[in-house]
Structure 1
Amino acid sequence: MSQDFTICVGTVGAGVWFSSDSGEHWRRSRMKLPFEAEPGEIQIRSLAVSPHNSHHVLAGSEAGLYRSEDNGANWDLVESPAYGKQIWSVAFHPGDPDTMFIGTKQPGVFRSSDRGKTWETLAIPMAERCLAGAPKVTNILVDPRDKKTIWVGVEIDGVYCSRDDGATWAHRVMGDKVLNLDVHGLAVAEGHPGKLLVTTPDGLWSSLDEGASWSLHGFPRFAERDQISYCRGVALRPGDPDTIFVGNGDFIPGKRGAIQRSRDGGASWERCKLPVEPNSVIYWFGTHPANPDVVVANSLHGYVYLSTDAGDSWRKVDREFGEIRALTWMPN
């Protein structure tokens, strides 16, 4: 296997770790902390690679927004209105290298159009409270088919959509249960007009009409006593919207996990064969258009898995971590 890409993992309490040789060796990233912050407080909950420059990465943390311009080796703190908040999602705008987004707990979505010098709050009419306390913005996605369309996933408040670059918003709700509002993962299938994918605790929801109607696919339960088969991350193989990956487990954090894959747009599914059974739910995925065959995935409790053949086979990275909340990879 050629050693030509960098993997970054975001941990709870230990910042970002990176491997510039495809997972063989690891180093802890250098992060410039605020004066009052303690190193153990750095809880990374989100990572995003710029579609304009793959060496540029954003990280959302308990201590604020961070930016790296060297594949995650060094990080600078970016001043933002999310300082002191839990940042649960970060994103670059695919149509503008200077525009980026932050999604927080409480909840809120902030946008900067000048690389973080100034910020605006997007007026999304989200709920201020839910059964789990304050809602959390788990996903921000600019539609690759229409750069003025923005999708926002909220735990626990469903999905919001703007067609006019954030000026106005419409609410999208899957099902009629509270679990159906607990949005974890969000993806838009490029090449499939209107196809939206959302993961919640009870499965993968899909819509072929921009969220007006939905269908649910539930995965096999791990034990008879399980009430649901819990789902977390969802990812599409770049350039191949029919290949879908879903992170699965018995619960959260769970004791068992699985990677579910479909190669026909979700019509049928198979559990990927992993060399070591996950020790918790499979939480997140990392893909990159530089090599659509490379997929990285993590269990919440510190395992990292790597495939270089689009999920046909996997290896577990030798290095294990504590709690992993974010994961990505980028070419060197």
Structure 2
Amino acid sequence: GDISATSPAVIYFAPYNSSTRLVRSTDEGENWALTSGILPGYVTKVLVHPNATDIVYANLGSSIYKTTNGGSSWTRLTTPGSVYIRDLCFNPRNPAVIYATGYYYGASPYRVALIRSDDGGASWNAFYFDTSSTNAYGYSLAIDPNDTATVYVGGYRGSGVTTVYRSVNRGETWEELPFGIIGYYPYAIYISPANSNLILVAPYSYGIYRSTDRGQTWTRVATTAAVYRLTGAQGNSAVIYASTSNTVYRSQDTGRTWSVINRGLVSTPNYCLMTSPNRQSGVYVGTKCGLFSSTNYGDTWENLIADVYLSRVRVLALANDERTVYAECQDDGVYRSTDNGATWVRCPDFLSCGNIISIAVDPRNPLAVWALEGSG
């Protein structure tokens, strides 16, 4: 998901479905509506133009789509061939400039790819780097907010090494920084807006690493689970958030130490993380159980939009009272409604297993439910 930088009441949220319609709010998440345009695949990143809330970019991996009417219709952009895209972002000072990273699979071995558009996605320049003897991939991307010619890419080399690359000329040439951690995919990289020397990188399942010298040396500051996103509080550079495979963490000292902030959150993968552009304490996290928001730096959370509205419902069961309904959402547990589906509550997880394939409700007691999961 993403929030408009100049109109923070406008939020877009992408369900993770094979055919996707974005969900849009124009009142900071109080009310939501599905957009009408359908994207032909899983959306992994959404960018909202900071000066025009109807202009949105969506990454589908093998392609980038653009809408100029708030998601009513989409146009596939012509990006360089044989490039699979993992991450994309705007130049923070000029949204006509868009960067995307991933890997170029038109050569063997694969190479890290950085593509750049200077005209809002109408045309692209491509740069391929890391000429090692094994496949190399780009996974995460960050632009130095104080020097927008400087671009960082978090990568992974097929031999099992997490890598960090830097360009000081908008992606034209690249150097590999001395990171070299034996790890996995770095889904998240973060540069402090107050201090360009401060960089955080999160190799998958290997915690969070911190540098205070522009990537020349690194210190492991957290041993968290798999980190999907890193972002900072707007207007308070000391506060940084990390969303992981099972919770959300917060640092209040520029990444030196971290603590769990999950009061009101359901324990589930937290793929999407955003901070409010105009409310210093505002933060959003998207999970399989919906979109949650906090107005107090993550001390408490509220579910803004339930995943029943977004998910693929695979199993339904209706109780004899004709008001109680149970629904199983793919990869997202069981929900119950007691008002014919007007509102829904997620039932507590009862097994760490696969999807539920059948639900039966006791005809004499709508609170007694049997569920059969796929593993038996």
Assess same fold via TM > 0.5. Answer: yes
Where do residues 41-56 of structure 1 align in structure 2 (5 Å cutoff)? Answer: 42-56=83-97
> Counterpart of 2:248?
204
Contact 1:173–1:181 (CA under 8 A) maintained in structure 2: no
Q: 1:268 to 1:28 in 2, by over 3 A?
A: same
Aligned length, in residue pairs: 251
What does the per-residue CA deviation read over 1:150-170, in whole Å, with 9 as the maximum and x for residues that have no partner? 111221211111111222211
Code of the aligned partner of 1:270: E
Post-superposition offset of 1:211: 3.4
Q: Within 2, Cα distance between the matches of 1:57 and 1:20?
A: 16
Compare 78-87 and 158-167 and name the one that shifted more.
Answer: 78-87
Contact 2:234–2:276 (CA under 8 A) maintained in structure 1: no
Contact 1:218–1:229 (CA under 8 A) maintained in structure 2: no
Q: 1:16 to 1:193 in 2, by over 3 A?
A: closer
> Counterpart of 1:287?
none
Code of the aligned partner of 2:94: N
> Counterpart of 1:263?
295
SS in 2 for 1:266: coil
> Counterpart of 2:143?
92
Q: Within 2, Cα distance between the matches of 1:210 and 1:97?
A: 21
Q: 1:275 to 1:149 in 2, by over 3 A?
A: closer
What does the per-residue CA deviation read over 1:29-84, in whole Å, with 9 as the maximum and x for residues that have no partner? 10122xxx3xxxx4321011001211111111232221112222332212333896
Identity %: 24
Where do residues 312-323 of structure 1 align in structure 2 (5 Å cutoff)? Answer: none
Give the unaligned 5+ runs of structure 1.
129-134, 175-179, 223-227, 250-256, 281-300, 302-332
Post-superposition offset of 1:4: 5.1
Q: 1:165 to 1:124 in 2, by over 3 A?
A: same
CA RMSD of aligned residues (A): 2.7
> Counterpart of 2:358?
none
Contact 1:3–1:22 (CA under 8 A) maintained in structure 2: no
Q: Within 2, Cα distance between the matches of 1:23 and 1:3?
A: 13
The two structures have a TM-score, normalised by structure 2, of 0.61
Q: Within 2, Cα distance between the matches of 1:143 and 1:12?
A: 27
**Larger-gyration structure (1/2):** 2
What does the per-residue CA deviation read over 1:113-163, in whole Å, with 9 as the maximum and x for residues that have no partner? 1122321111124224xxxxxx01112211011122111122121111111
Q: 1:98 to 1:214 in 2, by over 3 A?
A: closer
Given candidates 49, 55, 59, the residue that maps to 1:6 is 55
Given candidates 140, 145, 165, the residue that maps to 2:194 is 145
Q: Within 2, Cα distance between the matches of 1:191 and 1:220?
A: 25
Contact 1:56–1:67 (CA under 8 A) maintained in structure 2: yes
Q: Within 1, Cα distance between the matches of 2:286 and 2:263?
A: 11
**Are 1:273 and 2:305 an aligned pair?**
yes
Q: 1:16 to 1:165 in 2, by over 3 A?
A: same
> Counterpart of 1:248?
287
Contact 2:166–2:177 (CA under 8 A) maintained in structure 1: yes
Where do residues 1-332 of structure 1 align in structure 2 (5 Å cutoff)? Answer: 5-13=54-62, 15-33=63-81, 37=82, 42-63=83-104, 64-81=113-130, 85-106=136-157, 107-128=162-183, 135-174=184-223, 180-218=224-262, 228-249=267-288, 257-273=289-305, 277-279=309-311
Post-superposition offset of 1:88: 1.0
Q: Within 1, Cα distance between the matches of 2:292 and 2:257?
A: 23
Code of the aligned partner of 1:79: Y
Contact 2:262–2:298 (CA under 8 A) maintained in structure 1: no
Q: Within 1, Cα distance between the matches of 2:78 and 2:136?
A: 21
- Displaced runs of 4 or more, over 6 A: none
Q: 1:87 to 1:173 in 2, by over 3 A?
A: same
SS in 2 for 1:74: coil
Q: Within 1, Cα distance between the matches of 2:308 and 2:90?
A: 28
Code of the aligned partner of 1:104: G
Give the unaligned 5+ runs of structure 2.
1-25, 27-50, 105-112, 313-330, 332-376
Code of the aligned partner of 1:55: A
SS in 2 for 1:272: strand
Q: Within 2, Cα distance between the matches of 1:10 and 1:181?
A: 25
Q: Within 2, Cα distance between the matches of 1:163 and 1:60?
A: 24
Contact 2:192–2:237 (CA under 8 A) maintained in structure 1: no
Q: 1:219 to 1:59 in 2, by over 3 A?
A: farther
Structure having greater relative contact order (Cα 8 Å, sep ≥ 6): 1
The two structures have a TM-score, normalised by structure 1, of 0.68
Contact 1:220–1:229 (CA under 8 A) maintained in structure 2: no
